[in-house]
Structure 1
Amino acid sequence: MSGIAACQRCDMSGNLAFPSADSERATMASRADEGARPMAVLIRTSDLPAARRHAAWRGIVCDTLGPLDLRIDPDAPLRGEIEFGKLGAVGVGRIKTSTPHSVHRTSGLIRRDNPELYRVVLTLSGSPRLSQDGRNTQLSRGEFAIYDFSRPYELAYDAAVRLAVFSFPRDLLALPADAVAELAALPIGAGSGAAALAVPLLRRVALDHETYQPGSAARLSTVVTDLVGAAVAERLDRARSLPADARQRMLLLEVRSFIEQRLGDLGLDPAAVAAAHHISVRYLHRLFESENTTVAAWIRQRRLERCRADLISGGAGSVSAVGARWGLPDAAHFSRLFRQAYGMPPAEYRRAHTVR
């Protein structure tokens, strides 16, 4: 690929030498002063001996993206590519990997090195998970999220992903810290407004950033920064348009509707519900505390009520089939729960209440 200034390669002995983050920054600055095109650093694990790939991946991630704790199965075959460069003052990275792993920014790492950055991650393909401040987001293709590099976060990949990561100096993006804190790890899609312009531009920049001339790169970085700031501000205005108690009630209604539509799904549990709504499990439980119940109890209650309705209506199949239809496939467990709720086993309840 053109514009690649440094590829990590093994020498004949199989040793790797990684530039430090400071040397990378100094090299980028000197190249920019010389009027060169934005530099990109690339690692392809396929170019490296298998025994060296994990160390190489960790090294290049920390050198280009900052101190991070990578958690990965040491026995898993590592496949991936990383590119990193600059678009004016904006850092631009591309990450492609098919190996499940996660990266963590811990409090200890923040104390060691805190460059005062906001980061934006854009999903090119796959479904990465981003967590910060108790919010957990599974990003879909074409969605992006902002997060604060000065606070702990986790970015995880369970399957193959292609991501673009943008680094903005705090003073460049000019967003209030409380605004970023309110929106950290929440998805921003390309549906309308500034985000509809920002998403395709971010994608194009991520794919082409090393081809821009320095003058164009500087101007384009300003456009990117302005559009991202506008998209975040628009998202914040929508989030703040209702009072806090009204937002909480609306969210609870959305959660209940989500549960109602998936009662037959055996994977329906508090963790799945929280992930689907980009909130933590703890916050989900707080929502249901206002209803004097728990998430699991609500799911169980709604499943039993659906089963009871089917039993009364008749013609819904066997008792065990009714339970399985609504997420209670264990016949003995279903019978026990039903008896606790309605005072008799489901078969007896059907005989006593079937509409004739």
Structure 2
Amino acid sequence: MYQTLSLSDLPARDRFPFWRETVASTVVPLDITSDHADKFEATMHLLNLGAVQVSAHTHSPIHVCRTAKMIRQSIPEHYQLTLVRRGTVTAAQAGRDTKVGPGDLVLHDTWRPLHGTHAGHDRVGGIQVMVPRELIPLRLDRAGRLCATRLMGREGVGALLRQFLTQVTRNADIYRPADVTRLGGVCIDLLTALLAHHLETECTVPHESRQRTLLLRIHAHIERSLGDPQLSLDTIAAAHHISVRSLHRLFAAQGTTVSEWIRTRRLEQCRRELASADHRHLPIRAIAARWGYNHPGNFTRAFRTAYGLSPDEYRRHRTLYQ
């Protein structure tokens, strides 16, 4: 499910050939060249989420080419999305070409020739997602229009997908086998939503996928707004252009309520800060206010109900074991 690759233990002369072979066998066959082949450096963290493969990598600058011969030798057809984190990526496919930098995304497919460059002063890096073509519920001719174009990763669904990929690869070693299919489904939903946004074909995305993506966007909105005492059902619904009734239905389908979700996330953030040595100097009331509790009494009652101890008791108990 999770693999880590580093070239640091290999002799310098063997590193670049080994990297080429590894990419061909674990990601997709490519003709890779580099002006830094004699001193090549690279690391890769590979995470398999069911049918979806996610890989986080850093490496010396490279040039890549996927030829018609390589395409004939590898039958499976996938979309590949790259989130650029360091350096720049240029991609040319199907008569289009683009250049993207850190924070942005670029899409290409594996069944048409591709030319690209990963450039930087020393190392370049990013996260790549491989998704089988048939799992993206958009017409092939429409989704193909987005290959070798810049997709925004700093706002809207693009930002949500970027955050998901960053988080899922950062904690890749903690997931259980039962988690992988769910996480793969989240990745497919977010990628589909991103492509649909750029194509303005939201109506072609299955209802279930749209609902899951909307719920993820609402979760992210709530997380950003936990410290706002004015956070409410009305403000959340208005921010996502839905009715309060629709908002209730989304959370009811997950077996919870909006208010319960907000309360749980606020208490969890307070609990983490009470347990942290870095926040030991902060008064409890200041921590509570930071996460939206303006009335200390209400916070104390909610915390005791959730964790069986008052905030002060919990902090003293945690201090004994630090």
TM category, shorter? 0.5 to 0.7
Structure 1 residue corresponding to 2:166, chosen from 159, 182, 203: 203
Match for residue 121 of structure 1?
82
After superposition, what is the alpha-carbon deviation per residue over 1:123-144, rounded to whole angstroms, capped at 9, x for unaligned? 1222121221122222121111
Write the letter of the residue equivalent to 2:9.
D
Write the letter of the residue equivalent to 1:123.
V
Residue 36 of structure 2 contacts residue 61 of structure 2 at CA under 8 Å; is this kept in 1? Answer: no
Q: 1:212 aligned to 2:183?
A: no
Structure 2 residue corresponding to 1:69, chosen from 21, 28, 31: 31
CA distance in 1, matches of 2:111, 2:157: 26
Q: 1:140 aligned to 2:101?
A: yes
Q: Secondary structure at the match of 1:174?
A: coil
Shift of 1:86: 0.2
Q: 1:229 aligned to 2:203?
A: no
CA distance in 2, matches of 1:191, 1:165: 17
Write the letter of the residue equivalent to 1:181.
G
Q: Percent identity?
A: 31
Q: 1:189 aligned to 2:152?
A: yes
CA distance in 1, matches of 2:103, 2:85: 6
Q: 1:170 aligned to 2:146?
A: no
CA distance in 1, matches of 2:175, 2:78: 23
After superposition, what is the alpha-carbon deviation per residue over 1:189-242, rounded to whole angstroms, capped at 9, x for unaligned? 13443223212112212322342112222112111110110011101129xxxx
Q: 1:60 aligned to 2:59?
A: no
Match for residue 180 of structure 1?
143
Residue 13 of structure 2 contacts residue 38 of structure 2 at CA under 8 Å; is this kept in 1? Answer: no
CA distance in 2, matches of 1:211, 1:131: 36
Shift of 1:155: 2.8
Residue 124 of structure 1 contacts residue 164 of structure 1 at CA under 8 Å; is this kept in 2? Answer: yes
Shift of 1:180: 2.2
Shift of 1:76: 3.5
After superposition, what is the alpha-carbon deviation per residue over 1:94-118, rounded to whole angstroms, capped at 9, x for unaligned? 2201x22212111110011121111
- Ranges of 4+ aligned residues in structure 1 off by more than 4 Å: none
Q: Which runs of 5+ in 1 are unaligned?
A: 1-37, 239-356
Q: Secondary structure at the match of 1:179?
A: helix
Q: Secondary structure at the match of 1:181?
A: helix
CA distance in 1, matches of 2:37, 2:124: 20
Write the letter of the residue equivalent to 2:91.
L
CA distance in 2, matches of 1:191, 1:85: 24
Structure 1 residue corresponding to 2:68, chosen from 102, 107, 122: 107
Query: Structure 1 residues 136, 190: CA separation in 2 closer, same or farther (over 3 Å shift)?
Result: same
Write the letter of the residue equivalent to 2:164.
L
Residue 89 of structure 2 contacts residue 119 of structure 2 at CA under 8 Å; is this kept in 1? Answer: yes
Query: Structure 1 residues 75, 127: CA separation in 2 closer, same or farther (over 3 Å shift)?
Result: closer
CA distance in 1, matches of 2:66, 2:87: 22
Structure 2 residue corresponding to 1:150, chosen from 111, 116, 122: 111
Shift of 1:187: 1.4
CA distance in 1, matches of 2:103, 2:137: 24
Query: Structure 1 residues 116, 75: CA separation in 2 closer, same or farther (over 3 Å shift)?
Result: closer
* TM-score normalised to structure 1 length: 0.53
Structure 1 residue corresponding to 2:57, chosen from 92, 95, 114: 95
Q: Secondary structure at the match of 1:46?
A: coil
CA distance in 2, matches of 1:141, 1:225: 22
Q: Which runs of 5+ in 2 are unaligned?
A: 202-322
After superposition, what is the alpha-carbon deviation per residue over 1:242-289, rounded to whole angstroms, capped at 9, x for unaligned? xxxxxxxxxxxxxxxxxxxxxxxxxxxxxxxxxxxxxxxxxxxxxxxx
Residue 61 of structure 1 contacts residue 68 of structure 1 at CA under 8 Å; is this kept in 2? Answer: yes
Write the letter of the residue equivalent to 1:90.
V
CA distance in 2, matches of 1:226, 1:70: 31
Residue 148 of structure 1 contacts residue 180 of structure 1 at CA under 8 Å; is this kept in 2? Answer: no
CA distance in 2, matches of 1:217, 1:200: 17
State the aligned residue count: 199
Q: Secondary structure at the match of 1:137?
A: strand
